[in-house]
Each structure stands twice: as C-alpha cells, then as structure tokens.
C-alpha cells in the first residue's frame, strides 16, 4: 500500500500554478472534480503496477490535459474542408462578419427589438426584416420565422386549413430530417390533393382537380433531386394564371430563394423570389441559411393580405425568430441590397462564385506546403458539391488536394483524428485518400489546417493529447 503515499493530496494540486489558472476560468467545483477523477486513475495504476511513480507536477499536467479536453465546448468551430458550401451538419451557412457581429451585439445587450424608439411605443420585431425583404423582392409585405419548414406549415395552415392544396406528384419532396411534403401538409391541417405523375404534370391536371374545397395551388422547388428524361412541369406563371382564373392563391415553396441569380456560378433553375412576386404568387417561401447566406430562418414574402393573416396566427408566436437571428438577418439582407457587396461579404456567395484560377492557386500552394511537410499530396481538378442536404445534386468545378495516408494508416482513422483534432477538420474521403477542398476553407484557416494535418498524419505531438480517465 505504500505506493499510494506518492499520490499528491488534492490541496497540493490545487496550489499548482497551472491548475490555479484553470480554476479561474472553469471554477473551483469543476476543477476539484477533475482532480478527483485523475487521482482515482493514478491510484488504480499505482496499485496494479502499470505506474511506478507520480510527481505533483506530473499529476497537475494530467489534470490540466484532462480538463482541457473534457471541459472544452461541445459546440466548436470546425474547418470545413469538404467543399460542401451549405453543409447541413456543419451549420449550413457561415455568416458575414458584420452579420455575426450584429448577432453578438444583440445577444450581449438590450435592443429595440419591439420598441419604436421615436414614439416609445411597442412595435413589431418583423419591421426591419419586412422593410428589407420588400425592397429586395418587390413583395408587398414579408415576415420571418425559424426556418422554411415552419414557414411552410404556417402558410399552409393560414391559407388552406381544412381545404385542399393541389400539388404535383413530381414535387412531393423529402428534404431530409423529417421534412416530407405530405407530412408537412397534414401537420398544417391542409389536405394534400396530388395531381399528375412523378415525371409529367400538366396545367390541365391542376385545373381538373379544382373543386369547391380547394384552398390553394402549390409549387414546391425540387431542390435536392432531378427527374430527367421524359418530363414536364407546369411553370409558376401558368399556375398563377390558373389561380387568378379560379380566385385561388398560389404558394411557392422556393427552398433556397436566390435573391441574386446564381446561374453564372453554375446553379441553374434556382427560384428567384422577385420572380415569384412579379408573377403574382400569393406567397414565396425560402430559407435564411441557404443561398441567402444568413442565419437559420424562414422568409415568407407575399401580399399584405396574406402576411397580415399569417402574423395573426397563434403559431406565429411559436415560430418567431429570436433577437440574435433577427439582428443577423437584418444585416445579411442589408448586404444583399448591393450585389457586389453580397458576393464579397457573404461567405456562401463568395465561395460559390470563387474564381477557378484562384482556387487552383490556393490548392497548389497548400499542396506544396503539404509536400514540404512530407505528406503524399496530389493537386487535381475536382468537383465541389453546393449542398449536403440542400442542393446535393448541384456540382461545381473546383481544385482539391488528395492526400495518400502513410503506409499502415487508414483513411477513415485519419479522418476521425482530424475531426477530433484541435482545430477540428472535416475532410472528404475518396478511395482511400483524404480530400481537401480549399473552396470552403477560409484563408485564415489554412495554417491551422496544415498544423492539424501535420499532427495527425505525421504524428507530431498534439499539445491537447487526451488523457484516458476511467470513471
Ligand atoms: C430546404 C427546403 C425547405 C426546408 O427549409 P429549412 O429552412 O431547412 O426548414 C423547404 N422547402 C424546400 C423546397 C427546401 O429546399
């Protein structure tokens, strides 16, 4: 039992400078608990002979390593080296710095969220977003909720609760997660009336389906799949014309809602909200964090008549955005007022419109630095995917670096170590290689990315090596 005399007492560890510093940031309680866990591990190791000695400094080092690992935030920044610009699992759209700043400021203090500062009277939190969306899209009015799924449920409920909504079988989409059009429809209380077939739906199909209980006509953008070959879809213009004839509102679920047409960057056929408004759709719905490049939100733009009714629905309260989202959204929309600013300052649009020669140069420079580190890195032309769950079919040309693991290493082991590294790096794996796409890597992340690769693949010691602690 005498080996246990080597165990440093808790108070001695607490007095070690490195631990005292940690106590200031994490709090005494958390640190004391960490010390107990580490001492327990050391005690077991001394008893079973797997450890023969321990000094207070050594124990303190283990405590610091353990706490740094265990108590670091669970939600942390990740370097996205996948090239997938709208990566749903990685938070979809990174914000413009000024939009992130607006959210930060809104979070830290008080703000005129629902107060008109001129009159001192209560105002709507939707006013700033409404003003900017109407300017950008030409809509009469607009409002914002938590996401496009909420926007869809709310809109269907207000426009067509208990009534039939006519939708093409070719547009009965599942977006992923639990967004499936038939389920969204029934959750809203509207009745789905399917028309046409998977590949062909004609305007006559909609017209035949119109009856005394029809509430609305709907168009859903098939954002995550393509039907090719013998196909026919009714245009929004035709649908609006039919709606006018029968006095029925047309709901346009646009999904991404590209304020600036992304066709020049290789994204064809993305619905443009301005277009839906010009054509006369009652409402158009789109996400805040897809091609808009802002925070998670669902925008409902449309006629004053319908927006007023939507805002009066009790679900509006349940779906409304918080102050940080609204602050970031306002700033994002403000950036969109100028297309050049939007392309430069909104990361999603900057990445989407990145010049292919610039990407090649960045890939070559990164690849060269990797070779210098002793990695087997090959630079080549490749394809980037715009979205994970959002626009997964859309590919744009890019340049990537393919790293062949050292002998005896497996690509998926390396990928895991990269993900759990500091900073965390998420890369693609393709046929046994680690693929790095600079398109989604911010330039100030290049050096940290190289450092993580060096540590993980070349086994350079990681200063935050986890200590295994039982219990
Ligand atoms: C993405 C998408 C949605 C869901 O939007 P969220 O903001 O993720 O809720 C709805 N409809 C379409 C057509 C979409 O592309």
According to the model, what pLDDT value does residue 23 have?
A: 93
According to the model, what pLDDT value does residue 400 have?
A: 98
With contact defined as beta carbons under 8 Å apart, do 251 and 242 qualify?
no
With contact defined as beta carbons under 8 Å apart, do 287 and 307 qualify?
no
Burial class (CB in 10 A: 0-12, 13-18, 19+), 90: middle
According to the model, what pLDDT value does residue 246 have?
A: 98
Which residue's CA is the closest to the ligand 1 atom numbered 6?
148
The reply to whether ligand 1 has any atom less than 6 angstroms from the CB of 391 is no
According to the model, what pLDDT value does residue 384 have?
A: 87
Supply the Cα-derived Rg of the chain in whole angstroms. Answer: 27
According to the model, what pLDDT value does residue 393 have?
A: 72
The reply to whether ligand 1 has any atom less than 6 angstroms from the CB of 147 is yes
DSSP H stretches of helix in 299-436: 304-312, 314-319, 323-336, 339-345, 347-352, 356-372, 411-419
**Cα 286 to ligand 1 centre (Å):** 7
**Cα 196 to ligand 1 centre (Å):** 23
Which residue's CA is the closest to the ligand 1 atom numbered 11?
255
The reply to whether ligand 1 has any atom less than 6 angstroms from the CB of 287 is yes
According to the model, what pLDDT value does residue 459 have?
A: 85
What is the CATH architecture of 94-345?
Answer: 3-Layer(aba) Sandwich (3.40)
DSSP H stretches of helix in 189-313: 203-209, 236-246, 273-279, 304-312
| Ligand 1, pocket-test mutation among 88, 92, 149, most atoms within 8 A of CB | 149
According to the model, what pLDDT value does residue 461 have?
A: 56
How is residue 265 annotated by DSSP? G
**Cα 2 to ligand 1 centre (Å):** 65
Give the whole-angstrom CA distance, residue 465 versus residue 423: 13
Give the whole-angstrom CA distance, residue 117 versus residue 322: 19
Go through 382-407 and write b for each residue having 16 or more CB atoms within 10 A of its CB, e for each that does not.
bebbbbbbbbbebebebbbbbbebee
Residue 429's H or E segment, with its range, is strand 428-430
Which residue's CA is the closest to the ligand 1 atom numbered 1?
255
The reply to whether ligand 1 has any atom less than 6 angstroms from the CB of 394 is no
The strand pair at 395-404 and 424-426 is best described as unpaired
**Cα 175 to ligand 1 centre (Å):** 6
pLDDT, averaged per 10 consecutive residues of the chain (471 residues), comes to 84 92 94 95 94 92 93 93 95 97 98 97 97 98 97 98 97 84 95 95 97 98 83 95 98 94 90 98 97 98 98 97 98 98 97 96 98 97 81 85 96 96 94 97 97 91 47 37
The reply to whether ligand 1 has any atom less than 6 angstroms from the CB of 214 is no
| Ligand 1, pocket-test mutation among 179, 219, 286, 292, most atoms within 8 A of CB | 179
Beta strands in 371-413 (DSSP E): 376-385, 395-404
According to the model, what pLDDT value does residue 27 have?
A: 95
According to the model, what pLDDT value does residue 394 have?
A: 78
According to the model, what pLDDT value does residue 178 have?
A: 78
- 400 CB-near residues (< 8 Å, 6+ apart): 83, 363, 379, 380, 382, 435, 436, 437, 438
The reply to whether ligand 1 has any atom less than 6 angstroms from the CB of 175 is yes
The reply to whether ligand 1 has any atom less than 6 angstroms from the CB of 179 is yes
According to the model, what pLDDT value does residue 257 have?
A: 86
The reply to whether ligand 1 has any atom less than 6 angstroms from the CB of 220 is yes
Which residue's CA is the closest to the ligand 1 atom numbered 13?
255
| Ligand 1, pocket-test mutation among 155, 184, 223, 394, most atoms within 8 A of CB | 223
DSSP string, 307-318: HHHHHHSHHHHH
**Cα 327 to ligand 1 centre (Å):** 21
**Cα 261 to ligand 1 centre (Å):** 18
* Domain chopping of the chain, boundaries: 2-71, 78-89+353-457, 94-345
This prediction's pTM? 0.92
- What CATH number does the domain located at 78-89+353-457 have? 3.90.1150.180
Please provide residue 195's backbone torsions phi and psi, each rounded to the nearest 5 degrees.
-135, 160
């Amino acid at each position: 039992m005498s080996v246990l005399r080597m165990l440093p007492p808790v108070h001695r560890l607490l007095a070690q400078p490195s631990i005292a510093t940690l106590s200031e940031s994490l709090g005494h309680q958390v640190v004391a608990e960490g010390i107990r866990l580490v001492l327990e591990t050391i005690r077991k190791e001394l008893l079973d002979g797997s450890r023969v000695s321990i000094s207070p400094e050594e124990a303190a080092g283990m405590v610091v390593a353990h706490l740094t690992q265990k108590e670091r935030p669970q939600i942390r920044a990740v370097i996205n080296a996948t090239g997938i610009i709208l990566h749903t699992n990685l938070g979809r759209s990174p914000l413009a710095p000024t939009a992130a700043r607006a959210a930060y400021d809104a979070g830290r203090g008080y703000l005129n969220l629902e107060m008109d500062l001129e009159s001192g009277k209560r105002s709507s939190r939707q006013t700033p977003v409404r003003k900017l969306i109407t300017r950008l899209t030409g809509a009469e009015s607009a409002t914002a909720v938590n996401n496009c799924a909420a926007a869809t449920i709310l809109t269907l409920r207000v426009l067509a609760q208990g009534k039939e909504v006519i939708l093409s079988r070719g547009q009965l989409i599942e977006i992923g997660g639990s967004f499936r059009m038939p389920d969204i429809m029934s959750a809203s209380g509207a009745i789905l009336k399917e028309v046409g077939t998977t590949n062909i739906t004609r305007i006559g199909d909609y017209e035949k389906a119109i009856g005394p209980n029809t509430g609305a006509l709907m168009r859903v953008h098939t954002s995550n799949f393509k039907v090719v070959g013998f196909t026919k879809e009714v245009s929004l213009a035709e649908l609006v014309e039919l709606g006018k004839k029968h006095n029925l509102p047309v709901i346009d679920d646009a999904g991404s809602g590209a304020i600036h047409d992304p066709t020049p960057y290789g994204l064809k056929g993305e619905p443009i909200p301005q277009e839906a408004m010009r054509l006369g759709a009652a409402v158009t719905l789109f996400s805040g964090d897809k091609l808009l490049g802002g925070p998670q939100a669902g925008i409902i733009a449309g006629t004053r008549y319908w927006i007023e009714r939507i805002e009066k629905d009790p679900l509006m309260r349940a779906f409304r955005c918080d102050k940080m989202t609204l602050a970031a959204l306002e700033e994002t929309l403000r950036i969109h007022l100028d297309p050049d600013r939007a392309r430069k300052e909104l990361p999603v649009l900057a990445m989407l419109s990145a010049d292919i020669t610039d990407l090649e140069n960045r890939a070559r420079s990164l690849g060269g630095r990797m070779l210098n580190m002793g990695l087997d890195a090959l630079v080549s032309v490749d394809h980037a995917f715009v979205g994970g769950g959002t626009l997964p079919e859309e590919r744009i040309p890019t340049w990537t670096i393919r790293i062949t693991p050292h002998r005896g290493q497996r690509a998926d082991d390396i990928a895991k170590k990269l993900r759990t590294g500091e900073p965390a790096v998420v890369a693609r794996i393709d046929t046994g290689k680690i693929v790095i796409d600079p398109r989604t890597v911010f330039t100030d992340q290049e050096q940290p990315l190289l450092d993580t690769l060096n540590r993980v693949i070349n086994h350079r010691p990681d200063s935050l090596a986890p200590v295994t602690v039982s219990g």
